[in-house]
Amino acid sequence: MTGSALFSPLTLRDVTLKNRIMVSPMWQYCAEKGYPTDWHLMNLGRLADGGAGLVFQEGTSIERRACGTVGDLGIWDDCFIEPLKRLVNLVCLNGGVPAIQLVHAGRKARQVPPYKGRGPLLDAAGVEDWDDWEMIAPSALPASPGFSEPRAMNAADIASTVEAWGASAQRADQAGYQVMELHGAHGYLIHQFLSSSSNRRSDGYGGDFYGRTRYIMEVVEEVRRFWPAGKPLLMRLSCFDGDGWKLEDTLRLVPMLAKAGVDLIDCSAGGISGSPLKGDRPLSYGYQVELAEAVKRETGVPTAAVGLIVHARHAEQIVQSGAADLVALGRELIYNPNWPVDAAQKLGVDPDFQVMQRRSSFWLDRRAKTVPGLTLSTYGEDESA
């Protein structure tokens, strides 16, 4: 499509995205013992068919104790590869690039899903492997008041989790994912090492900036050992967390990550305690875009912008201005999985509905040509009615 920055292609390593719209990883909390269900097929299929160029699967746990809730997806064993291939194949069939986010919850394990009220899961009833679902963290500091105290990781824990990141990356490649993101934000394990508020270690993995960034660098290096050179690697960061990690720290870290093989920074904020939406930032449209813009401007590394990006022209302006290379949508795609189709119409760059696969676009194109001047439902009421 011509005439639109949002609907221009983006190439990262050997992978080309058809547009700059990224489906953010969104937890579904409905896996069964780590395995995907029909819900995951439905959810990812509709998001891919809606026209997004990059379709991320929710955060997927690299080991059993990495799970945040009982419904988290897993990739800690080879037995997950074949079921995950079904998700990959469906996204590809519907025109999207399949992507996976890897995560370790650390001290944010054993939680109640948000739609059931959030908070710590204190009762082992119904969880057969409760003892295997151990809470670990850089330091023995609970995530929030009321949460259990995690066990401080020893050298063996650090080594085993680093190895788990790499092994999970290898499985993701075998399942067919084309893009990978590591979750280093929102108070999960990597972020717990980065922030001085959660990392009080006195060994080589704590203390100053280089000690606290040692874990993330080892993780990236291990992942790049197993993740093919032609496939992009993204990192989600809380560019600041309002407590022990500042934007200045992010700007020091990003060039190190890029040198180690990270291709794009997914720029968020907060989450070291409480919700990632809290902190000192007002919740207005695009309230975190300036973080992506600052990281890209100061480091030259491509970025994704997140945070209440809702309207087509706003998304277009973000990419056109160079503030970010991708716009990541989450809840707006829950509201309207066909947002990319709608955005292309509103920007006037897709008269034939080519952002969708032909089996769906045929009917929309036919209606548009049969009923010229039709007002689409997302434009508001037809004044002539």
Task: For residue range 114-132, list pLDDT tens digits in order.
Answer: 999 989 998 887 888 998 9
Q: At what angle do helices 81-93 and 38-49 cross, to 10 degrees?
A: 30
Pick the catalytic residue from 188, 215, 287, 335.
188
DSSP β-ladder status, 54-61 and 233-238: unpaired
Q: 361 with 242, same domain?
A: no
Given this model, what pLDDT does residue 360 score?
87
Per-residue pLDDT band for 326 (boundaries 50, 70, 90) equals very high
Q: 284 with 380, same domain?
A: no
Q: At what angle do helices 155-175 and 214-226 cross, to 10 degrees?
A: 30
DSSP-derived secondary structure letter, 307: S
Q: 15 with 99, same domain?
A: yes
Q: 97 with 172, same domain?
A: yes
| Residue span of the structural domain in which 379 resides | 352-385
Q: 81 with 107, same domain?
A: yes
Q: What is the distance, to the nearest Å, from the Cα of residue 39 to the centroid of all Cα atoms in its chain?
A: 19
Q: What rounded mean pLDDT belongs to the chain?
A: 94
Q: 368 with 230, same domain?
A: no
pLDDT greater than 50 at residue 385: no
Lowest-confidence range among 27-31, 278-282, 301-305, 318-322?
Answer: 278-282
Exposure string for 343-379, b = 16+ CB within 10 A, e = fewer: bbbbbebbeebbbbbeebbeebbeebeeeeeeeeeee
User: Measured on CA atoms in the order 243, 73, 176, 11, is the torsion positive or negative?
Assistant: negative
In a domain, 163, yes or no: yes
Per residue in 206-259, pLDDT (tens digit) is 999 999 999 999 999 999 999 999 999 999 999 999 899 999 999 999 999 999
Helix/strand/coil percent split, the chain, to 5 = 40, 15, 45
pLDDT greater than 90 at residue 374: no
Q: 222 with 359, same domain?
A: no
Distance from C-alpha of 297 to C-alpha of 286, rounded to nearest angstrom: 17
In a domain, 220, yes or no: yes
Which of 143, 126, 151 lies closest to 65, judged by CA?
151
Given this model, what pLDDT does residue 282 score?
66
- Are 152 and 139 contacting, i.e. CB atoms less than 8 angstroms apart? yes
Q: 85 with 164, same domain?
A: yes
Query: Which backbone phi and psi does 341 adopt, to 5 degrees?
Result: -60, -45
pLDDT greater than 60 at residue 383: no
pLDDT greater than 90 at residue 370: yes
Distance from C-alpha of 99 to C-alpha of 97, rounded to nearest angstrom: 6
Given this model, what pLDDT does residue 359 score?
87
Report how many domains make up the chain.
2
What share of the chain has pLDDT > 70, as a percent? Answer: 96
Query: Average pLDDT in the 102-112 region?
Result: 96
Per residue in 8-26, pLDDT (tens digit) is 999 999 999 999 999 999 9
What is the dihedral angle through the alpha carbons of 116, 120, 125, 126, rounded to the nearest 10 degrees? 60
Query: Where residue 331 sits, what CATH number does that domain have?
Result: 3.20.20.70
Is 35 a catalytic site residue? no
In a domain, 65, yes or no: yes
Q: 70 with 195, same domain?
A: yes
In a domain, 1, yes or no: no
Given this model, what pLDDT does residue 278 score?
47
Q: 19 with 67, same domain?
A: yes
What share of the chain has pLDDT > 90, as a percent? Answer: 86
Query: Average pLDDT in the 275-285 region?
Result: 64
Q: 346 with 357, same domain?
A: no
Query: Average pLDDT in the 324-353 region?
Result: 96
Per-residue pLDDT band for 381 (boundaries 50, 70, 90) equals low
In a domain, 194, yes or no: yes
In a domain, 278, yes or no: yes
Per residue in 36-87, pLDDT (tens digit) is 999 999 999 999 999 999 999 999 999 999 999 999 999 999 999 999 999 9
In a domain, 138, yes or no: yes
Per residue in 341-366, pLDDT (tens digit) is 999 999 999 999 999 988 889 999 99
296 backbone φψ class: left, alpha, beta (φ>0; ψ -120 to 50): alpha
Q: 296 with 224, same domain?
A: yes
Residue listed under structure tokens 């794009």: 264
In a domain, 3, yes or no: no
For the chain, give the number of residues.
385
Beta bridge partners of 184: 237
